[in-house]
Amino acid sequence: MTDKTAPSAAAPTRGGIDWKYQAERFALIIAWLLLIVGFGSLMPDSFLSWRSFSAMFGSQSVLVVLTLAILLPLTSGDFDLSGASVLVLSAMLIAILNVQMNWPVLPAILVALAAGALVGAANAFFALYFRIHSLIVTLGIGTFVNGVILWISRSQTIAGISMDLVGWVIIKRLFGIPLAFYYALLLAAVLWYIFEYTIPGRRLLFVGRGREVSRLNGINVTAARAASFIFSGVIAALAGVLYAGMTGSADPLSGLSLLLPAFAAAFLGATTISPGRFNPIGSVVAVYFLVTGITGLTMLGAEAYVQNLFYGGALVIAVALSQLVRKRQPQDFS
Amino acid sequence: MPHKTSVSKLAALAATLSLGTAAPALADAMADAEALLAKHSALPEFIVPGEPFDARACMADKKVMSIPLTMTVPYGVELEKGMATAAAEVGFTFETWDNQLKIDQWIQGVSQAVAQDYDVIDLAGGINPELLGPQLSEARDAGIKISTTQLYDVTQEAVASVDASSKIDFTTAGKILAAWAYVKTEGKPNVVIIGSSDVLSSKPYTDAMEAQLAEYCPDCKARVIDVPVSEWATKIQASVQSAVLSDPGVNYILPVFDSMSQFIVPALRITGSEGAVKIASFNGTPFVLDMIREGTVDMDIGESLEWAGYTAIDNIMRMVCDLPEPQGNFVPLYIFDSANVETAGVPATYNDGYGDAYLTGFRKLWMLEE
């Protein structure tokens, strides 16, 4: 999926530590720290306050979870463009069931997660049974889901989602940071463990590196890809649960704009921790690197368009530098 | 006595000078702000847009096609519904060109209106006619008149390709929001205004807020953040968080459109500012009125979309009937806060709470009543 000739995650050379590789692994983290130091020296009172970090950490959990959702198919060599649609569907189902139909919030969340699994299964069915490229299938299914959302919501924004959910997402805190941050972090840690230390996780990585080779080695490639789509749907729905808890409402359109930032974070994350490979911890670092830059610039009084300049610029420059380190080997996103 | 008079004159002059150098007349500013709020807190009355005319006779056999910005948001649906209801009362053909915020669909709508010999094309809810320049020019060549509904602020001039416009009073809405922040903070507003300059009327609206605040208190703080509509979900929360963190003295967030509130509330919750920093806005969108009832939004200026629909039809009919175009705003702006929000319905709707003075008003104006 990513750079097939990239070094493996832990690649010390025979003679000792590969400094170049280690520098690449931690370059984004160092850049992140430099950002913090830079903004901190400019705004020591406001930027370096715990309140400021708590706000940065707490506010990006939806994006982190959505990025982790699309990371699974990316790892197995597929694109999932329906992730943001599933997020919005999930939030809207919770709003409709909880606010309009007076369901308790927990069963509403379970229905939302099941809907995510269903959309993932539909993606898997069309991509794998009919052998259609995942880009086409997930674009189509995502657009279909957008239509379903407009239909079931009658294009309305619905507010008034249970304060229990809002409480468990952003009002309750640990060390001053809303719980949503820890959910996202926990999910990233679980995915990291699965990829690094479990057989299904390693299989998914092999499938992403080369489907034919995996098949010849006895891996059930279809099952691995199907699982990645379904779990992607469930995790995207979980992002929707957090989105509903974050805003206390659901609207049929706005969450869709999170798709491109999620892909940007996934690609930026692939330049760090395990360079050349989509990886959960790298994605988390990427999201918080970006939000630190954006928060600092906005606190300095920069206009909103500067956020786009930083977001786009950081992504392209980081990936370009990463490519320079690996001597501009061609990337394969087939 | 003459001496006494000159002393009192001097004292008055000194007082004036003193007020002029420190702060403006606080009592006057406060009274002015309170009067503006009181005016828009009273149940709306019908504002007569022009002379009465025989609408049925003039609109017989006329056909109007309205192209809304999009039918995927309830605002567009409700506005079109209001226009259709008014047209049905008069008894002429009114069609809505259903679309999903796509320019090719708008172009298709204009082409259909030309092909089917419509008399009027109305661009409703925010379509900028400059985006359809060649198509509207072709329609005008075919004898079709062009109107806009709820696009321009009352201070803005329509482009030459438009024959008549039913405008919105964003300027007054901006002044009301400024007055609200001024009164509720007892003359010490420190506000963050969130605009969307890709919406044509956003600039005069945010300008009005800033100007009004500057008039009330030149030393008060107002910062404008611009977030395009397509980026509300990704930018508003981060921008508000940063603004509140960098200036802990912020006490009001004034988004130009109330639907922005859903992204402001989480920013206030995460920064621990909920309660200390309040939200006031404009539009009267039902879910935001519900948020007032729940205590997460402080105030919302509303306008009945059915009232706006009737006003738009009145404007269109005057254009077709060659009557003078009404100048100004004829859709009342009404303040909802915790005291009266339940009159908007539970859950809130687009049209409840405003009264129905417009129904009898327009029927009389259009000579529909026996």
Within 10 A of A7 (CB to CB), how many other CB atoms are there? 18
Picking from A155, A159, A304, the nearest residue to B74 by CB comes out as: A155
Q: Are A172 and A178 in contact (CB under 8 A)?
A: yes
Q: Are A61 and A287 in contact (CB under 8 A)?
A: no
Distance CA B314, CA B17 (A): 50
Distance CA A128, CA A76 (A): 13
Q: Output the CA angle B238-B241-B246, nearest 5 degrees.
A: 125
Picking from B71, B239, B262, the nearest residue to A157 by CB comes out as: B262
Instruction: Find which of A45-59, B7-21, B45-59 is predicted with most confidence, using mean pLDDT.
Output: B45-59
| A291 close to B (CB below 8 A) | yes
| B285 close to A (CB below 8 A) | yes
Asked whether this complex has an ipTM greater than 0.95, the answer is no
Distance CA B17, CA A99 (A): 58
Q: Are B175 and B207 in contact (CB under 8 A)?
A: no
User: Quick check: B1 pLDDT over 50?
Assistant: no
A153 Cβ contact partners less than 8 Å away, ≥ 6 residues apart: A92, A95, A96, A250, A251, A252
- Contact list, A56 vs chain B (CB under 8 Å): 241
Half-sphere exposure of B61 (CA within 13 A, CB side): 1
A116 Cβ contact partners less than 8 Å away, ≥ 6 residues apart: A86, A89, A90, A233, A234, A235, A236, A237, A238, A240
CATH superfamily, domain B55-168+305-332+355-365, is Response regulator (3.40.50.2300)
Picking from B245, B247, B269, the nearest residue to A170 by CB comes out as: B269
Which whole number is the average pLDDT over B132-138?
92
Backbone angles phi, psi at B9, to 5 degrees: -65, -45
- Torsion B262-B267-B270-B276 (CA) sign: negative
Percent of chain B with pLDDT over 70: 92
| B275 close to A (CB below 8 A) | no
pLDDT tens profile B266-284:
999 999 899 999 999 999 9
Tell me what pLDDT residue A105 has. 97
Q: Would you call B245 and A52 a contact, using CB atoms and an 8 Å cutoff? A: yes
Q: Which residue of A has its CA nearest to B350?
A: A156
**DSSP letter string over B41-100?**
TSPP-----S----HHHHHTT-EEEEEESBSSSHHHHHHHHHHHHHHHHHT-EEEE---B
Which whole number is the average pLDDT over B25-52?
90
Q: Are B213 and B276 in contact (CB under 8 A)?
A: no
Percent of chain A with pLDDT over 70: 93
**Domain spans of chain B?**
55-168+305-332+355-365, 171-302
| B263 close to A (CB below 8 A) | yes
CA B20 to chain centre: 33
- Contact list, B344 vs chain A (CB under 8 Å): none
| DSSP SS3 for B286 | helix
Q: Which residue of B has its CA nearest to A46?
A: B246
User: Quick check: B37 pLDDT over 80?
Assistant: yes
Average pLDDT of chain B to the nearest whole number = 90
pLDDT tens profile A147-171:
999 999 988 889 889 999 999 999 9
Q: Which residue of B has its CA nearest to A167?
A: B269
User: Quick check: B245 pLDDT over 50?
Assistant: yes
Confidence tier at A20 by pLDDT (50, 70, 90)? confident
Tell me what pLDDT residue B370 has. 61
Distance CA A214, CA A217 (A): 5
- Contact list, B79 vs chain A (CB under 8 Å): none
Tell me what pLDDT residue B27 has. 61
| A153 close to B (CB below 8 A) | no
The tokens describing A144, both together, are 């279909």
Picking from A251, A301, A303, the nearest residue to B262 by CB comes out as: A251
Distance CA B241, CA A54 (A): 11
Task: Kindly report the length of chain A.
Answer: 334
Whether B171-302 and B55-168+305-332+355-365 are alike in CATH topology: the answer is yes
What pairs with residue B160 in β-bridges?
none
In chain B, residues 49-108 whose CB comes closer than 8 Å to chain A: 71-74, 77
Which whole number is the average pLDDT over A31-35?
93
- Identify the CA nearest to A88 among candidates A231, A252, A229, A235: A252
- Identify the CA nearest to A63 among candidates B264, B235, B243: B235
Chains A & B: contacts with CB separation below 8 Å: 123
Tell me what pLDDT residue B229 has. 86
User: Quick check: A228 pLDDT over 50?
Assistant: yes
Tell me what pLDDT residue A332 has. 59
Which whole number is the average pLDDT over A58-77?
94
| A253 close to B (CB below 8 A) | yes
Q: Which residue of A has its CA nearest to B272?
A: A51
- Contact list, A248 vs chain B (CB under 8 Å): 262, 265-266, 296
pTM score of the predicted model: 0.84
User: Quick check: B5 pLDDT over 90?
Assistant: no
User: Quick check: A329 pLDDT over 90?
Assistant: no
Distance CA B301, CA A18 (A): 63
- Contact list, A170 vs chain B (CB under 8 Å): 266, 269-270
Distance CA A237, CA A108 (A): 12
Which stretches within A11-162 are classed as H helix?
19-42, 50-59, 61-75, 83-95, 105-124, 134-153
Task: Kindly report the length of chain B.
Answer: 370
Q: Which CATH number fits domain B171-302: 2.70.98.20, 3.40.50.720, 3.40.50.2300, 3.30.470.20?
A: 3.40.50.2300
Tell me what pLDDT residue B228 has. 87
Q: Which helix (H) or strand (E) holds A299?
A: helix A280-299
Backbone angles phi, psi at B125, to 5 degrees: 75, 15
What pairs with residue B195 in β-bridges?
B226
Tell me what pLDDT residue A298 has. 84
| A258 close to B (CB below 8 A) | yes
Tell me what pLDDT residue B18 has. 41
- Identify the CA nearest to B309 among candidates B134, B104, B168, B142: B168
- Contact list, A157 vs chain B (CB under 8 Å): 74, 259, 262, 285, 287
Q: Which helix (H) or strand (E) holds B318?
A: helix B305-320
Q: Would you call B246 and A299 a contact, using CB atoms and an 8 Å cutoff? A: yes
- Contact list, A253 vs chain B (CB under 8 Å): 72-73
pLDDT tens profile B69-93:
988 888 888 999 999 999 999 999 9
What pairs with residue B223 in β-bridges?
B192
- Identify the CA nearest to B78 among candidates A46, A158, A234, A154: A154
